Structure 1
């Protein structure tokens, strides 16, 4: 075999082997271009997603199905930033999230991940001016209604993206008062067992350190483990999902031990800034169903 042809065959075989062996990647379905397709991870939540080099896109490349963006209302526009000092007029919720998500859903025939029909969650953390910020958010979401989960007069229709409003508690009242909307509300543990239904509060989020002392080192106290399992079971019984923030996120055994306990308790979203680290952890344990 001529040298150039032998080299081409070797390169092709190596590329093919790599595409088969890569974790979390599947070949595109028949009739497509053959480009790799990421398998989504139901439990992966990208905390402060906008701080990554490519907001939204980096998280989706790692298979994340929940993303978090902090927003401020500035001169009638929703800007994405963690603090006022970091505000940049070019970094809007529309340009970083709403517009590219809409384009991706159109390209994938109705879903964020082609062939994956579960909604991707967009957690929008309102940092200030809750009422005014939500009203502008509502206006922007309505422009993208075709891809967004919807509540209308007592019924929920799930679509490709489910916006959930978090942060400033003042946003809850105008949201809850709407008979038809394209956003839902991020509750707290105190909301568990209240009359507020899952159609308003589909997610319960809590600061890990407010309810638990264990940080992943040593034995998980039996009483804390029992409390965790009971809380998650009660939330699931109401049709609500669970997320904890402020869990240890430094790479190492403590983080993995705590993540393992959260999975064992059926916590729905594992919170991390480390996209690659959480992806490796979840893929090593295989897919598992959550609410």
Structure 2
């Protein structure tokens, strides 16, 4: 493994997980007495991008966004100083930003913002939060794709826990709620801001929505994996050194899995591969062109 010494990951996707934000959410007295599920919501975005075989950085609100093409920021209830400016610059510069319900509510000292939420990002998101419905355990609503929506979403997905009601200004509605007193109101939106796009997931949707949506966003942003079809339980990670990419394909299943690897461009450098990867085994591929450069 000496050849890999000094190799680095260069993710184009980041997911925000902020401890100060988590503490503030845990201490909040609503909109549900229990069960805001911050960590679980963050994991949905992370899991969706990793299932695509993409490298993902997990960062907090204090870190820069300029190195990424896609940033997912679930439930940023507490906005740290400088966060709004970074998001505005990121989206205006061409980035893809994915936010959720219950964002931009309080500042660093846990005091509520005045003037509308998500604070400082009303024009970036192209909407304003008007109300939020805290569902009882076991209750659910659903998100229904708008006919001929731009992302070609076709499936209906369930949502639970929290359903935010928003009023779009410039945002395009991609999905609407399917029932209750807010049936027909936006459940998923997209807004063009500068050279980039900002998306708002308005409710606590199931993993399937994240999987489909994150796949669409990654494809549109041109952020793709070397391995195109990845079975459940298999992870793909890349590292780079001297302009050459190394691809780690790891099988965490108890059984061997069939997987198609691009061995013509990325020959097997370490491990055994005959069309399958054994249980708990790893195959490492190495870019065969020394002229490779990340775009």
TM score, norm. by length of structure 1: 0.29
The structure with the largest strand share of the pair is 2
Structure with a larger share of its residues in helix: 1
